[in-house]
Structure 1
């Protein structure tokens, strides 16, 4: 996504994705965001900013945004319920912090972590 302009406020690429990544950390059952990988896990542990790999945001013509997230989840989760918690967390975080509505959140479960 390129810069997003909302009512005279410009958000640089990656700002909304970072907000979403932080919101996903607080969703019970989400093990990681993005494709499971030892390297990306190591890098995200070292970096100050959370990884936005696996998060895509697109502005819609209706003035909302469409979000797509790829997550790895913990074994034992009821997946439809977890996907719903993810949708709610993402929409609430973006609406609260940016003031823009999320039209949809597509959730892709890329793996299950057995811990």
Structure 2
């Protein structure tokens, strides 16, 4: 039991010394502050990083991603043409494309696709 306490105290002291040395060595100087600041294509990084952006642009990007994923779901149907019945494949593809078109028309009616309000 005494050896366990001795080992744990030794490890605690060693960890404390390593953290203290790393803190002393890693002090940043005034010269390194500009080097560590972010560089954004020549813009001054001292201004506010939280610039407002169009929420409508964000919604259009999300809609694009959703339809892009749905298109990637259509691609495997090309590979299944040879191994499945053509009528079943046609019905599944028609149903899937109808669902896509209903979603597109719904977004259009809601005004999500018009850029100027």
TM-score after normalising by structure 2: 0.27
Higher RCO, 1 or 2 (CA under 8 Å, sep at least 6)?
Answer: 1
Which has a greater percent of strand? 1
Which has a greater percent of helix? 2
TM-score after normalising by structure 1: 0.27
Q: Which has the larger radius of gyration?
A: 2
